[in-house]
Structure 1
Amino acid sequence: MKACTVCKYISDNDYCERCGNPTSDNWSGLLIIIDPENSELARESNIKHPGCYCLRVR
């Protein structure tokens, strides 16, 4: 699993499928967003789409 260096979306690709930026396998923390419209964590993290995200990526 790799995380996007910009939007922190987690996928298996070398480039993010959401924003097209490169991904890194050096990440930590897992945040799963199911309903971003009603999630306070999603609002604080500026996440607008459901999915798996990391908390920190290098």
Structure 2
Amino acid sequence: MAKKRLACRECHYVNELDANTCASCGSSSLTEDWAGYVIITHPERSEVATEMKVTEPGGYALKVR
């Protein structure tokens, strides 16, 4: 079973389990309570990225609690 990772409550970027701050935005508001996972490779061409306001490629949680 894969280890649960931490999603940022601010930008939804999915970080490693041992992270103290978000690698994308620097926020310290990280949680294990998230659902859905999307990998965005070309945010400038992605409707999902536009909806989520994502500007950098990476893995993002769809829903963060």
Scaled by the length of structure 2, what TM-score is found? 0.82
* Runs ≥4 residues deviating over 3 A: none
1:5-44 pair list within 5 angstroms = 5-12=9-16, 13-21=19-27, 22-44=29-51
Scaled by the length of structure 1, what TM-score is found? 0.90
Q: Distance in 2 between matches of 1:5 and 1:40?
A: 21
Q: Distance in 2 between matches of 1:56 and 1:45?
A: 10
What is the CA distance between 1:14 and its match in structure 2? 2.5
Sequence identity of aligned pairs in percent? 40
Q: Structure 2: which 5+ runs fail to align?
A: none
Partner of 2:58: 51
Q: Which has the larger radius of gyration?
A: 2
Q: Distance in 2 between matches of 1:5 and 1:15?
A: 11
> What is the aligned length?
58
Q: How big is the alpha-carbon RMSD for the aligned residues of Structure 1 and Structure 2?
A: 0.9
Q: Structure 1: which 5+ runs fail to align?
A: none
Secondary structure of the corresponding residue to residue 42 of structure 1: helix
